[in-house]
Each structure stands twice: as structure tokens, then as C-alpha cells.
Amino acid sequence: MTENDQVTWGARRRRRFPPEHWASLICKGVWDETPDVRTFFLTPADESRIEHDPGQFMTFQIDTPGGVVERCYTIASSAARDGGIEITVKRQHGAGSAHLHDTLIPGSSIMAFGPSGRFGPVSWPGTRYALIAAGSGVTPMLSVLRTAVDRGIALDAVLVHVAPTDTDMIAADDIALLARRLPQLTYIPVTTRGPGAARPTGDLLTNLITDMADRTVLCCGPQPFMEMVRATARDAGVPADHYGEESFDFSSPESEITPAADTPVRSVTFARTGKVFECAETTTILAAIKAAGLPLPSSCARGMCGTCKTFKHAGEVTMAHEGGIRQREIDRGFILPCVSRPLTDIVLDC
């Protein structure tokens, strides 16, 4: 064992990974979960500690040949872990995840922002859960289970995971092992192809989780799947405040409506660069920034991920976010330009 190994084994990470800035993570390990899903183990380059809740995600800058793209991936590892995080990523069509699969190897680095988001048992407290996931939507559930084991939480949950085949069932072995440590966890994998296949319908879910009305339902998957689960939970009698969902399907963000000719226009000033441009009161500030050809990191364009969070020096906005910013950050003067529209002239810290 080298001196360096001893330092690594004994290290305790004290400083906190900066949640409001981009910072570098080093890839320490990569392994395959299924033929098209891979897990990456990442640690902060500055030896800091990533504090997150189970169910939160981080935003990553992926340096593709066509330019930098930003993608959000849920943290799949335990929130009790000190040394780093795991993200479990499905290779999709398009530049982001495919490039990640091809280039993020042990020793390489990637810029990350976060953690962000409000999904999971911290934001949706309950005593009994129904965790319902499709495909890689199981990754936040993995963090919930792993955190429960590490923190000695007697999690009472039914986990239903839908995937095409047994081969596509992410971390099935790991979940079976976790279930041995969580005696009140019931794990129900559902395949949609091959022997024993079932269609993921509301009837199937209510048959599998007969006491759904008594549980807090957390759902993650593609939009149509979540719409089905949301309707099923509602029909089963789950109160709206006992139902939470998360998706990173940002393929159709809210489109901008061309402002009417008489819409008041405000000025937006970048305090640090001195750039000034106009933004109609009905237009998001992020859309105006992009139209002006200026750079600002963004990902979801829905007020969810927190990537575009920016300090506002002056002015008033309306902002309807979806959990990408905390109230204390709003109180300190931060906004999410992707879901903020100006009420007055604005000065941003850019």
C-alpha cells in the first residue's frame, strides 16, 4: 500500500461541494448495468463532499464535438455516502448521453452543478411508500433504498419497476440485496416483453399495490407513464399532496409565445460584461438572453434543474418555478431566468 492509498482510505471530506457553482468531478469508476445503461462513480476534484437528499439530481456539462450540452442525471447512490456519487445513465439518441458513455472513463473529468431538485422522501415525507418507476426512472429509487439501508431507516415501500425485459432491469441484483436489509420492502419487477410480460396499466398497478391509497406515491419515468400513474393514484384515492413525480424528459419545454406588438419591453443588463438587451414582459429572460446571442448555462428550461440560477442585482420579475430554487435563495436575490419574466428593468450578475 502506498502513502497515497493510506491518505485516500483515511480521508474524511469536510468541505461541501459548492451547490451554486459549476465544479469539476473526477470519474473514478465505470460499470455496465444493462446493455445500454452504465453507472459512473464520480468524486469532487477538490476533495469536497457532495451533500444531497435521496432523489436529487445534478446537471452536467458534456463536451461533445458539436459543442457543450447540459444534461441532468439523478444521483443513484446513497445520500449517506461521503466520498462521491454514482449516476446511472441510459444511452439515448442524441449527443449527450451517448458521448458520456463513450468518453467518461476513469481519470477523466466533467463539470457538474447541483445537487438540485425536490423529489424523494425529504420533500414527500410519509410512513409508507409506493415507488413506481419505468426504465432509468428507477435511479432516484435506488438512492432512496441505499440511503435507507445506510441510515438504518425502516423503509416500508413497494417498488414497482417497469422495463422491457429482464436484461433491461437496472440493478435488479442490488435491489434484491437491499431488500434483504429492508424487510418491509417489496420489489416487483415488471417486464413488458417476452415470457411473463405485462402491460403497465392502471389496473396492473392497483392489483400490484392494493393499498396504494395508504401510501405516498413517488413516480419517475417518461411523461406518458407518469400521466398514467398520476391518474391511477388519483383514482385509487391518493391525496394530491401524497403524490410526487420527476422526469428529465425535457424534449418539449414550454414554447415561447411571440409577444404582441403592444407588450411592454424592459431592459436587461449584464452587470459584469455591460451587455444590455431587451425583453418583453411576456418573454422569459432566458429566451431573451439566447435571442441576444449571449451565453448562460441552462438545461430544463422549466425551473426544475437550477442550472440557470442567477443573482439579480436590481429589478422585479415574476417567477413560476418547479423546485429548481430554494426560498432562501430567492430571498437572497437569485432567480431562474428560464421561468422569470421582467416586470421592470433588470440587472443580472452576468
Q: Which residues bind ligand FES (CB under 6 A)?
A: 298-301, 303-308, 324, 336, 338
Report the candidate in 68, 110, 114, 57 with the shortest Cα–Cα distance to residue 307.
114
Cross-strand bridge partners of residue 88: 39
Q: Smallest distance, Å, CB 143 to ligand FES?
A: 20
Q: 68, 77, 76: which is closest to 111 by C-alpha?
A: 68
Nearer to ligand FES, 269 or 298 (CB): 298
State which residue, 220 or 304, has the beta carbon closest to ligand FES: 304
Smallest separation, CB 301 to ligand FES (Å): 5
- Tell me whether residue 35 or residue 94 sits nearer to ligand FES (CB atom): 94
CB of 318 to ligand FES, least distance (A): 15
Q: How far is the CB of 123 from ligand FES (least distance, A)?
A: 16
CB closer to ligand FES, 175 vs 287: 287
CB neighbour burial string for 316-327, b if at least 16 within 10 angstroms, e if fewer: ebebebebbbbe
Minimal distance in Å, beta carbon 268 to ligand FES? Answer: 15
Asked if residues 136 and 170 have their Cβ atoms less than 8 Å apart, the reply is: yes
Q: Which of the 8 DSSP states describes residue 343? A: S
Compare residues 211 and 254 and give the one whose CB is closer to ligand FES: 254
Q: How far is the CB of 201 from ligand FES (least distance, A)?
A: 32
Q: For residue 307, give the nearest of 123, 116, 66, 119 by alpha carbon.
A: 116
Give alpha helix (H) positions in the chain: 3-10, 95-103, 139-151, 172-181, 202-208, 223-236, 285-291, 327-332
Rounded Cα distance between 170 and 55, Å, is 16
> Residue 44 or 324: which CB sits closer to ligand FES?
324
- Is residue 324 within 8 A of residue 116, CB to CB? The reply is yes
